[in-house]
Amino acid sequence: MTRSPRLRTSLLAGASIVVLSAVAARAQSVDYGALEQVFGEPVTTSATGSPQKVSEAPVTMEIITQDDIRRSGADNIPDVLQFVLGIDVRRSAFGSADVGIRGYNQNTNPRVLVLVDGRQIYADEYNAVVWPTIPVELSEIRQIEVVKGPNSALFGFNAASGVINIITYDPLTDSVNRLSAQTGTQNLAEGSAVTTVHAYDSAGLRVSAGGFLAHEFDHPATESPPNPESGQVSADGKVRVAPGVEFGLSASKADSQIFNEVPTSALTDQSLRTNSVGARLSADTRYGLLNLDVYRNELDLTVPPPAAAETASYLYVVQANDLVKLSADQTVRVGFEYRNASLDTPTSGYIGGTVGYNVIAGSLMWNWAISPSLSLTNAIRLDDVSLYKTGIQFNGFTLADYDNRSYLAESFNSGLVYKLTDIDTLRLIASRGLQTPSLFYLGFVYNGNPDLNPTIVGNYELGYDREIAALLSTIRMSLFYQTEDDVIGSLYGEPDPMVRSGFLVNNIGSSHEVGIEIGIKGHSPSGFRWDAGYAFTSVTDNLTLAPTQPPTSNIDFQHGTPEHMLKFGGGYSVGKWEFDAAGRWQSSWVDYRAQSDILPLPLALVRVPDYVSLNARVGYKVTEQLTFSVSAAQFNQSSLVTSAGLPTERRVMVKISEQF
């Protein structure tokens, strides 16, 4: 009797190895659903290229499933992320949010890489993510992978503090057909549609469209900002052209009008248009699993008078990698990447022409299953970055200073995963990532600086998971230490008498943090589910920039990072009903607000008090296809200060959705 659980575990482990090896061998369209049924937990291919249980991945990762997204009642991705342990979501307006991972959040946060099916959404213009322009409907997302800590060597360019990896359903193997409509407070009107068509078993196409109209949160100014609105459409197709060979095409377009922050800590009216096209080829050959990805992103930004700005940024990326199984226990992935990013403005604009960089990068990943209970993953990446610029200059630098500027940047990831027992897993992680200066900070005609160095982020971490079979739960703990060298300053933070504006963007010193996260998540056969956790983060700055009163810099990670976060939630499903609630408590911190979008200095210091935010949702399945739900965000407070932007307001939403 005492050997039976171990025997079952051994049999399951053996089956897991067989299934994962088979999936890795055949390559492209991973059947996530089947693997989740086999292993009883979400599966990821992101870290190493091969399917892995999340508990065995060589990174610290949390997965938000489609069920989690639905039960959250959220209608946007930042609101889905806000209840993930270690995630800091700061909303400055209805459509504006900054998402940070393990501290170091700031306006237009440049440290989190966001991907959709491997395509970068993160915009090199400000090194930020404009969340309403992501052309993905929540109902077409299979899972959102939140990867914590620097992961540049595994996930790519600028994964400085973490990665938000959005994975949609595969148009070749999955069929998603859903319609939804939603209304609520703030005069919200929102709709979404997703449909999938297949041609035999060899081709599939998924098309999605959606958008919203709403009233902006209350604004203290006499003249209120325009009401936010957004619309997007996307298509993703895939064809199996031969056994083991798949070809895919994707295209998307989004158009948004929002009140949004800029690097000067000012809130401005912004019109944003994004479009993207991409192609992917995957082939399972005798030389390994070959992947080729090519895509182009464009972001057009218009700010009306009095700020009056117009920019266009472009990104071209070519990625190629080969995943080779050297033996039953060793896998190697060799990668190459070329990228060209540029930011254009009229001659009289903020850039005075064009600024950009070319990047040539090579990477190598090695995964070694040393034994059934011990695995090691090492990855390295080298980026060769070279700048260029055209147009006019007022910042003391010449165009030759840009054309002669280049540097090499190294990053690495190393993860050791040791299964101590059938229920205990230990992870040791060391990594180094990069935060590359944004094109705006490099090329701003008045105080941009081509000599900026990338911020080097180091991370050392001990993680531990323990399964509690009696509660169908898992406890996860992480203890980490992170360093930041060559911290990039703010746009108006470094006095320089040689520069026309009197300020110069510069590297301003170092910083470090220590933190701990502990959480538990589980469910019961009777329909109950629960999720709770606590995170502590302490940041110490060692910056060369002297504090001024009133402040001229918004870089203050030591006081601008909440030390404590507590999350809690639960739910119950019975018959046709679903009941879910979630709460978040966050300690106080300091933020900065520009006085106006024309003359941002001096900055106003804003203390964000500690707060509790509670969300809830009730869903009723009218038929097998039709669902009706009511959700409330921040229902315990009519108004909350969560940043130096506009106070967020209570939201109540009614939604009807149909699956066909």
What are the pLDDT digits (tens) for 322-374? Answer: 999 999 999 999 999 999 999 998 766 788 899 999 999 999 999 999 999 99
Distance CA 364, CA 384 (A): 15
pLDDT reported for residue 499:
66
pLDDT of res. 221? 62
Mean pLDDT of 370-379: 96
> 3-state DSSP call for residue 524?
coil
Q: Is the pLDDT of residue 26 over 50?
A: no
pLDDT tens-digit profile of 400-447? 999 999 999 999 999 999 999 999 999 999 999 999 999 999 998 888
Residue 588 to residues 52, 100, 229, 470, 635, Cα–Cα distance (Å): 38, 16, 31, 37, 20
The beta strand positions in 453-527, using DSSP E, are 455-468, 473-485, 509-523
Q: What is the mean pLDDT of residues 299-311?
A: 83
* pLDDT reported for residue 2: 34
Q: Phi first, then psi: what are they for 14, rounded to 5°?
A: -65, -45
Take residue 506 and report the two structure tokens written for it.
């510069």
Residue 548 pLDDT > 80, yes or no? no
The CA distances from residue 658 to 169, 183, 619, in Å, are: 17, 16, 13
Q: Do 149 and 59 meet the contact criterion of CB atoms below 8 Å apart?
A: yes
List residues bridging with 562 in a β-sheet: none
Q: What are the structure tokens assigned to 432, written together?
A: 């180094």
The vertex-278 CA angle with 61 and 317, nearest 5°, equals 75
Q: Which of 460, 581, 532, 543 is nearest to 60 (CA)?
A: 460
What is the predicted pLDDT for the residue at 429? 97
pLDDT over 60 (residue 95): yes
Q: Which of 567, 517, 555, 520 is nearest to 537 (CA)?
A: 517
Cis peptide before 602 (omega within 30 of 0): yes
Which pLDDT score, from 0 to 100, does residue 610 have?
Answer: 96
Distance CA 33, CA 160 (A): 31
Strands 141-148 and 589-593: unpaired
The residue whose two tokens read 């501290």 is: 103
Domain that residue 228 falls in:
4-271+278-659
Q: State how far the Cα of 76 lies from the Cα of 61, in Å rounded to an integer.
A: 21
H or E stretch at 4 = helix 4-26
Alpha-carbon distance of 535 to 584, in angstroms, equals 11
Using the structure block, give the residue that is written with the tokens 């914590």: 148
Encode pLDDT of 232-262 as tens digits. 999 999 999 999 999 999 999 999 999 988 8
pLDDT at residue 603, rounded to an integer: 85
> Highest mean pLDDT: which of 13-17, 18-22, 123-127, 198-202?
198-202
Look at residue 422 in the predicted model and tell me its pLDDT: 92
Task: Please give the backbone phi and psi of residue 75, each rounded to the nearest 5 degrees, phi first.
Answer: -115, 15
Q: Are 398 and 443 in contact (CB under 8 A)?
A: no
Question: Mean pLDDT over residues 85-93, rounded?
Answer: 93
pLDDT given at position 43: 85
Q: What is the mean pLDDT of residues 32-61?
A: 81
497-543 pLDDT, tens digit each: 666 666 788 999 999 999 999 999 999 999 999 999 999 999 999 99
What is the residue whose two structure tokens read 């053996």? 14
Alpha-carbon gap, residue 265 to 596, rounded angstroms: 9
Torsion of the alpha carbons at 270, 133, 300 and 196, rounded to the nearest 10:
-150
Q: How many CB atoms lie within 10 A of CB 505?
A: 28
Burial of 11 (0-12, 13-18, 19+ CB in 10 A): exposed
Question: What's the domain count of the chain?
Answer: 1
Average pLDDT over residues 62-85: 95
What's the CA gap between 167 and 147, in Å, rounded? 13
540 CB contacts (<8 Å, ≥6 apart)?
Answer: 511, 512, 513, 558
CB of 236 closer than 8 Å to CB of 205: yes
Instruction: Write the CATH number for 25.
Output: 2.40.170.20
Beta bridge partners of 650: none
Read off the pLDDT of residues 113-150 as tens digits, 9 standing for 90 and up.
Answer: 999 998 998 888 888 899 999 999 999 999 999 999 99
Give the closest residue to 104 by CA, choosing from 48, 157, 149, 170. 149
Residue pair 159/83 in contact (Cβ under 8 Å)? The answer is no
What is the three-class DSSP state of 114?
Answer: strand
Rounded-to-5 percentages of helix, strand, coil across the chain: 10, 55, 35
Structure pTM? Answer: 0.92
Distance CA 488, CA 441 (A): 9
Burial 38-65 (b: 16+ CB within 10 A, else e): bbeebbbbbbbbbbbbbbbbbbbbbbbb
Phi, psi (rounded to 5 degrees) for 400: -65, -30
Handedness of CA 212, 217, 223, 225 (dihedral sign): negative
* pLDDT, position 84: 95
Per-residue pLDDT reduced to its tens digit, 455-499: 999 999 999 999 999 889 999 999 999 999 999 998 777 777 666
Return the percentage of the chain with pLDDT > 90, whole number.
Answer: 72
